[in-house]
Chain A
Amino acid sequence: MNRSLFSLLAGLALLFSLPARADLRVFACEPEWGALAQVLGGDAVQVFTATTALQDPHHIQARPSLIARMRRADLLVCTGAELEIGWLPLLLRKAHNGRIQPGRPGHFLAANQVRLRERPARLDRAEGDIHPEGNPHIQTDPRNISRVAEALAARMAEIDPADAAGFARRLKAFQTDWQAAIARWEKRARPLRGVAVVVHHRQWPYLLAWLGMRQVGELEPKPGLPPTAGHLAALKARLAVQPARLIIHAAYMDPQPARWLSRHAGIPEVTLPFTVGGTPAAKDLYGLFDDTIARLLGALK
């Protein structure tokens, strides 16, 4: 009896002494930032990614599992610009973790490191689910990833100075490879220049601007509102006058509206990974852009 009580207590003590590990614990809101933190952190970090590429980052339930993971995080890496406004503030409040609260070094927002597009001139919920600071879907332009990497490596070094040299070394190697990859992608994507597209949700301005493509329509009547039959029919009529060559949507979205318009307007639709893991080929950050461009080019043929 006494022995079993002792072993129970010992077990509990062990359970609660586990966090003594030296690794930097990273809580990444989206897969792209989880992947980036892993690339920069290597074996000095433990990365937990809160969402998958098949989840809509606007609409995540503040699940107990996420609160538990956030409780022990040393560094929070999220997009910001109110993308996670529906769940992150609640998680932060429930997680009782002072290290990652807003204003602390452990609170890192990627959108603060780059220039946001589509900052709305008029803030009104009648405009749909708009983000006052601008469009938060920055990860579709690899030049943004490069900027975020720079700032993230610096932040990791600030929180974990012992591993600072490693972070700097991995950042340098990453930037070299990444710049070469960007040049490669830009060369391959040259035929996409000027191509007009219809998007499901307004989440591609960075990709389109990078590749010189044009957006001529949206499947959603207002950002965040599901496509309606009336809106799709009007869009189809408009496309007869102002044609587009592609309909693009993210892997996590309902493909039905895009397929409907594709059938009725005779324009190919293409599913893009949107983030790491969105398609089988988008295994890492490089795969994300390899596959995005390959799928765009493939659909144009």
Chain B
Amino acid sequence: MRSNQLARAVVSTACIGLLSPVVEAGPPEIEAIQQEIAAMKQDYARRIQALERRLAQAEREARDARQEAQRANKEVDRMATAPAGTPTESANAFNPAVDLVLNGRYRAFSRPASENGIPGFSLGDESFKGDAGLSLDESEFGIAANIDDLFYGQFTASFASDAGEDSVSVEEAFIQTTALPAGLGLTIGRFFSGIGYLNGFHSHADDFADRPLPYRAMLGNGYNDDGVELRWLAPTDLYLELGADLFAGDHYPAGGRGHDGLGSWTLFSHIGGDWDESNSWKAGLSYLQAQARDRASGDPDAPDLFSGETRLWIADAVWKWAPNGNPYRHNLRLQGEYFHQDQDGDYRFGDGAPLAYRGHQNGWYLQGAYQFVPRWRLGLRVAGLHADDPGAAFAGTDLDPLGRDPRHYSVMLDWSHSEFSRLRLQYNRDDSRPHSDDQFLIQYIFALGAHGAHAF
């Protein structure tokens, strides 16, 4: 072992001796090199130390940044779900909901416009078939809002054009309680009576461009009047509503504000519910008793005057189908109503003496509207009427049924781009009068503003 080391030393000394020409420079230069190497070593050590310090610093900073980011994320989470100030309940804050329904139509008839009555019935103002050609229909302007925490108010004016004359009428102007106890609700003002099914709807919500025969013949398209209505909703899972109206008796089928301005009253009840998730229904029974004093019919050429009492019973039913309760794509609405009316009083024609009239009339319609693809609906309707023959004294008057029962058939197709716009094409075959009348109607209905929902 030791001899081995010695041998190595000898060999290496010899080698240095052999290489001496290279390192001939001698010991002072080696020292310089050694010093240089030492200096480099120190330099690197310093640099490495500096790098290590910087690395540690960077790591600290990264950790701080991570913590900061986490804190920020939590804050963002909190902010993301925090309510923004105090949101308002409605966009227009205290302003009432304003809506305008623009409505117009084109009509074409195969029979002259003068053949427009319904034989056997003394019609109200709006029940005639109207002018041929283009016309502005009832355009409605409505304002509605909660008045305070107890009352709701609504006003609807209707603008119509008839034979080139513009007219404005107040269709509805009422207040309604929202917070009476025990399921009671009181309405005061002018409003559509709760009788029947279709009566409470504005005509723009109908499935057809015109009202079915019994509404035209017996209610002047729809009965509204000035009065008071009380409704009670039963506290049951089955929908059961009872209601009663007391009206001034100023509008068809009443007239002349009989009984000191309490000329008509009604009673009505509706029940309804869901058959299953896709099917729901509603049915009702109503009674209207209306006093008339010199009620002028709407016949522009020869209005008759009726004084007496009208008693009207209505049974109504509606069935709606919407797959899974989703009416947006497909839906079907089937509805039908039956009217039975007794009239007791006198009719006066022109300057003639009053003629006693006592008779009964009835009417019915059945209709369906089916939305077969989104936006498009197809509708079918049949309607019929019957009026007692009041005898030879009434021959040639509006009340002469001409020995026939009127019938009316309709087909309708409508297209709605959105829930606010609708275009409708309708064909009627009107067999009310001795000559069948083929009628074509094109109707548009557009709603602007805060258009409210339609009832079931």
Contact = CB atoms under 8 A, between A and B. Distances in A.
Interface string B40-84: 000000000000000000000000000000000000010111111
Of B184, B231, B273, B456, the most chain A CB neighbours within 10 A belong to: B456
Contacts of B325: 51-52, 54-55, 60-61
B359 interface: no
Given A62-B453, A87-B453, A90-B455, A133 B326 contact: no
Interface string B202-244: 0000000000000000000000000000011111111110000
A64 B273 contact: yes
B143 to A, nearest CB: 14
A50 to B, nearest CB: 10
B355 interface: no
Interface residues of B, number: 63
Nearest to B186: A96
A298 interface: no
Contact of A226 (B234, B282, B375): B375
A96 B272 contact: no
B87 interface: yes
A58 B325 CA distance: 12
Given A65-B280, A115-B81, A52 B328 contact: no
A80 B82 CA distance: 16
Interface residues on A, range: 35 or more
Given A15-B236, A103-B149, A133-B88, A93 B81 contact: no
A210 B180 CA distance: 44
Contacts of B231: 96
Interface in A88-142: 89-90, 92-98, 101-104, 109, 111-116, 123, 125, 128-129, 132-133, 141
A95 B329 CA distance: 28
Contact of B81 (A60, A72, A85, A143): A143
A65 B278 CA distance: 13
Contacts of B179: 98, 101
Nearest to B78: A143
Interface in B136-155: 146, 149-150, 152
A265 to B, nearest CB: 22
Given A65-B280, A93-B152, A96-B231, A115 B84 contact: yes
B452 interface: yes
A111 B185 CA distance: 29
B81 A147 contact: yes
Contact of A89 (B234, B329, B418, B452): B452
A229 to B, nearest CB: 13
Interface string A233-259: 000000000000000000010100000
B83 A68 contact: no
Q: Report whether over half of chain A's contact residues are helix, strand or loop; otherwise say mixed.
A: loop
Contacts of B417: 225
A285 B84 CA distance: 25
Interface in B231-264: 231-240
Given A93-B176, A115-B80, A63 B456 contact: yes
Contacts of A87: 453
B324 A65 contact: no
A86 interface: yes
A144 to B, nearest CB: 5
A227 B295 CA distance: 54
A210 B81 CA distance: 10
Contacts of B83: 112-115, 147
A67 B181 contact: no
B372 interface: no
Given A96-B183, A115-B79, A104 B280 contact: no
Given A104-B149, A112-B87, A123-B91, A98 B181 contact: yes
A65 B237 CA distance: 7
B144 to A, nearest CB: 9
Interface in B167-187: 176, 178-181, 183-185
A295 interface: no
B374 interface: yes
Contacts of B232: 96
B162 interface: no
B146 A102 contact: yes
B108 interface: no
Contacts of A96: 178, 180, 183-185, 231-233
A101 B178 CA distance: 7
A109 B448 CA distance: 26
Contacts of A224: 418
Nearest to B181: A98
Interface of A: 15-16, 18-19, 51-52, 54-56, 58-65, 67-69, 71-72, 80-82, 85-87, 89-90, 92-98, 101-104, 109, 111-116, 123, 125, 128-129, 132-133, 141, 143-144, 146-147, 209-210, 224-226, 252, 254
Given A68-B236, A101-B146, 4 more contacts: A71-B235, A96-B183, A125-B448, A254-B329
8 contacts: A63-B280, A68-B273, A71-B235, A92-B178, A96-B180, A98-B181, A123-B91, A224-B418
* Those 4 A-B pairs whose CB atoms lie nearest each other, nearest first: A64-B272, A98-B179, A64-B239, A132-B91
